[in-house]
Homo-oligomer: A and B are copies of this chain.
Amino acid sequence: MSPPREDAVLSTMQDVPLLISRILTHGSSIHGTSQVITWTGEAEPQRRSFAEIGARAAQLANALRDELGVRGDDRVATLMWNNAEHVEAYFAIPSMGAVLHTLNLRLPPEQLVWIVNHAADKAVIVNGSLLPLLAPLLDKFPTLEHIVVAGSGDRSVLDGAHAQVHEYEELIAGRPTTYDWPELDERQAAAMCYTSGTTGDPKGVVYSHRSIYLHSMQVNMTQSMGLTDQDTSLVVVPQFHVNAWGLPHATFMTGVNLLMPDRFLQPGPLAEMIESEKPTHAAAVPTIWQGLLAELTAKPRDVSSLTQVTIGGSACPPSLMEAFDKLGMRVCHAWGMTETSPLGTVARPPAHAVGTDEEFAYRLTQGRFPAGVEARLSGPGGERLPWDGESAGELEVRGPWIAGAYYNGPDGEPLRPADKFSEDGWLKTGDVGTISPDGFLTLTDRAKDVIKSGGEWISSVDLENALMSHPDVAEAAVVAVPDEKWGERPLATVVLKEGSTADFESLRAFLASDVCKIAKWQLPERWTIIEAVPKTSVGKFDKKVLRRRYAEGELDVTKL
């Protein structure tokens, strides 16, 4: 952006930067009596008011500066569950001008090591219960000078660590409960989060104060999560997972109470905390809800307080949504990714669909783009596709809380890989889908999973769903394989049910039939029977294994 012309009419507005310290100050004063409730596994949870969080965040910032020597944009990592101390770190670290680096405790150790070193973290705040994860890696963290331990857990595993060890409560005790938060540039780094790509090194997304502030406002808008201070939000989605979908920041703007499960993420304790603390809202990925549903079926509890459930991370199966509806918990789909802060869409049905047959279909989409997120679809040849609800393309997005690069490439410059960022700076999400004329996104495939055949795309997910609706098919995965004439063509890998006698010709005819209505040019020629579809650690189809097995000639393929 160029500065305004010298002779231009100047705005007479105050130039007040959008800073996380302002969110903290607002929440801990205006909403000082709202609470962060942390589950402890004991009879009584820990309760801390927003005013106390504000005072303790200031104490933490004073300690980090005066005792640990945190300065400027030093990175301070957290390896923590969702709890009050993690909320304190969320506010203290960016507000003092340093950079919060949330570590994903589910990453393989070698990725954790890579990430901590890439960010050059100077200190880490760690929950005592997670020390067994951290301790064995300490030798590999040359930049790490300080370890601050919060909560219960055996400290002896840290004996002999080269970094200085501090007790969280002792460290902050007695320090001033205010801090003269600096007036930072709102575009300065506030927090960072690495994506755990399945290929290549993890990539760091660095959020600014501005992006977090704007994203928080968006979360509080009526068409987003839209909570008020009458709500209590059960934040199951981890604080190390894209800022817990923005909830800790957003709730401090509006006084929404936070219910934090700490390490008690099993269905039993979750059901228990819902029954006793009566949250009105909860946010988590589908697998958590799948487990909770089973728990509630096996052992019913009063969960009537919980009327609004935000589901993201992956698509919510219709059956799960219906089951939750029956329990009075209304599921609201949302879509986003680490690079989008994360809220990119929220599936609140449009006014005309509310109360009609269309409503459920709208709720099953990924949702509608809010003001602040611009979207476009890019076809196989890079052409722009219309928002007609039918043309499928790769989703590209732009906006003030969308990443335009990754942190520090090998040359120290921001990294802008061509498969992730367009030449004009939009984020290529890697997600393929359609957009309706009224801006609802329906995702069908990951871009790497679509089949690029003769300049057109074939959805592997559509073919899989069609195949799996056949009574003889247990599972099916469709992957792209090279084809001399078309570039790529689909390979259907099928797991038949026991005793099935279906052959490939009949399956192919089924796809073409009026039941499935797959276009002729999209029908697979290549077919193979497999024993099971390989899966990733989180249960998704692992298609790169299938592609490799095909490439290495391990599959017995029939060509029709």
Interface on A for B, CB 8 Å cutoff?
1-5, 8-18, 22-23, 25-27, 29-33, 72-73, 75, 99, 183-190, 192, 204-208, 210-211, 214, 216-218, 220-223, 226-230, 252-255, 348, 350-352, 354, 368-372, 374, 387, 398-407, 414, 425, 427, 437-439
Judge whether A8 and B402 touch: CB under 8 Å: no
How close is A303's CB to chain B, nearest CB, in angstroms? 20
Q: Considering the complex, give the chain B residue whose CB is closest to the CB of A101.
A: B9
Distance of A351 Cα from B208 Cα, bound (Å): 31
Distance of A403 Cα from B12 Cα, bound (Å): 6
**10 pairs of A and B residues whose beta carbons are closest in the complex:** A11-B208, A30-B439, A14-B404, A253-B371, A9-B189, A13-B211, A12-B405, A230-B351, A12-B206, A9-B73
Among the interface residues A17, A184, A351, A401, which one has the most CB atoms of the partner chain B within 10 A? A351
Q: Which residues of B contact A406 (CB under 8 A)?
A: 12
Distance of A479 Cα from B143 Cα, bound (Å): 68
How close is A152's CB to chain B, nearest CB, in angstroms? 32
Q: Which residues of B contact A218 (CB under 8 A)?
A: 217
Distance of A408 Cα from B30 Cα, bound (Å): 36
Distance of A25 Cα from B375 Cα, bound (Å): 11
Q: Which residues of B contact A18 (CB under 8 A)?
A: 214, 400
A sample of 22 cross-chain residue pairs with beta-carbon separation below 8 angstroms, ordered by A number, consists of: A4-B187, A8-B72, A9-B407, A10-B414, A11-B208, A12-B403, A12-B405, A13-B208, A13-B210, A14-B404, A29-B387, A30-B439, A32-B438, A217-B217, A220-B222, A220-B223, A221-B221, A221-B253, A223-B229, A223-B254, A229-B350, A255-B350
How close is A428's CB to chain B, nearest CB, in angstroms? 13
Judge whether B188 and A13 touch: CB under 8 Å: no
Q: Which residues of B contact A4 (CB under 8 A)?
A: 184-185, 187-188
Judge whether A371 and B228 touch: CB under 8 Å: no
Q: Which residues of B contact A402 (CB under 8 A)?
A: 13-14, 16
How close is A242's CB to chain B, nearest CB, in angstroms? 13
Judge whether B14 and A425 touch: CB under 8 Å: yes
Judge whether A205 and B9 touch: CB under 8 Å: no
Judge whether A15 and B1 touch: CB under 8 Å: yes
Judge whether A185 and B13 touch: CB under 8 Å: no
How close is A160's CB to chain B, nearest CB, in angstroms? 31
Q: Which residues of B contact A220 (CB under 8 A)?
A: 221-223
Judge whether A12 and B204 touch: CB under 8 Å: yes
Q: Considering the complex, give the chain B residue whose CB is closest to the CB of A369.
A: B30
Q: Considering the complex, give the chain B residue whose CB is closest to the CB of A26.
A: B371
Judge whether B407 and A12 touch: CB under 8 Å: yes
Known: A18-B214, A228-B348. 18 other contacts (CB 8 A): A3-B185, A4-B187, A10-B407, A11-B188, A11-B208, A12-B206, A13-B206, A13-B211, A14-B400, A14-B402, A14-B403, A16-B399, A22-B374, A25-B374, A217-B372, A229-B351, A230-B354, A253-B371
Among the interface residues A30, A204, A255, A399, which one has the most CB atoms of the partner chain B within 10 A? A30
Judge whether B5 and A187 touch: CB under 8 Å: no
Distance of A106 Cα from B27 Cα, bound (Å): 40
Distance of A123 Cα from B217 Cα, bound (Å): 36
Q: Considering the complex, give the chain B residue whose CB is closest to the CB of A254.
A: B223
Judge whether B189 and A8 touch: CB under 8 Å: yes
Q: Which residues of B contact A8 (CB under 8 A)?
A: 72-73, 188-189
Set B30, B75, B217, B370: member contacting A9, Cβ < 8 A: B75
Among the interface residues A190, A371, A438, which one has the most CB atoms of the partner chain B within 10 A? A371
Distance of A208 Cα from B33 Cα, bound (Å): 35
Judge whether B254 and A13 touch: CB under 8 Å: no
Q: Which residues of B contact A371 (CB under 8 A)?
A: 22-23, 26-27, 216-217, 252-254
Q: Which residues of B contact A30 (CB under 8 A)?
A: 368-369, 438-439
Judge whether A255 and B351 touch: CB under 8 Å: yes
Q: Considering the complex, give the chain B residue whose CB is closest to the CB of A216.
A: B371
Q: Considering the complex, give the chain B residue whose CB is closest to the CB of A368.
A: B30
Distance of A226 Cα from B404 Cα, bound (Å): 31
Judge whether B13 and A401 touch: CB under 8 Å: yes
How close is A396's CB to chain B, nearest CB, in angstroms? 12
Judge whether B222 and A13 touch: CB under 8 Å: no
Judge whether B205 and A12 touch: CB under 8 Å: yes
Q: Which residues of B contact A221 (CB under 8 A)?
A: 217, 220-222, 253-254
Distance of A385 Cα from B69 Cα, bound (Å): 35
Distance of A105 Cα from B26 Cα, bound (Å): 38
Set B13, B33, B204, B404: member contacting A13, Cβ < 8 A: B404
Q: Which residues of B contact A185 (CB under 8 A)?
A: 1-4
Q: Considering the complex, give the chain B residue whose CB is closest to the CB of A75.
A: B9
Judge whether A13 and B207 touch: CB under 8 Å: yes
Distance of A449 Cα from B414 Cα, bound (Å): 58
How close is A125's CB to chain B, nearest CB, in angstroms? 18
Distance of A18 Cα from B2 Cα, bound (Å): 14
Q: Which residues of B contact A252 (CB under 8 A)?
A: 371
Q: Which residues of B contact A27 (CB under 8 A)?
A: 371
Set B187, B207, B222: member contacting A222, Cβ < 8 A: B222
Judge whether B399 and A10 touch: CB under 8 Å: no
Distance of A26 Cα from B372 Cα, bound (Å): 8
Distance of A218 Cα from B26 Cα, bound (Å): 14
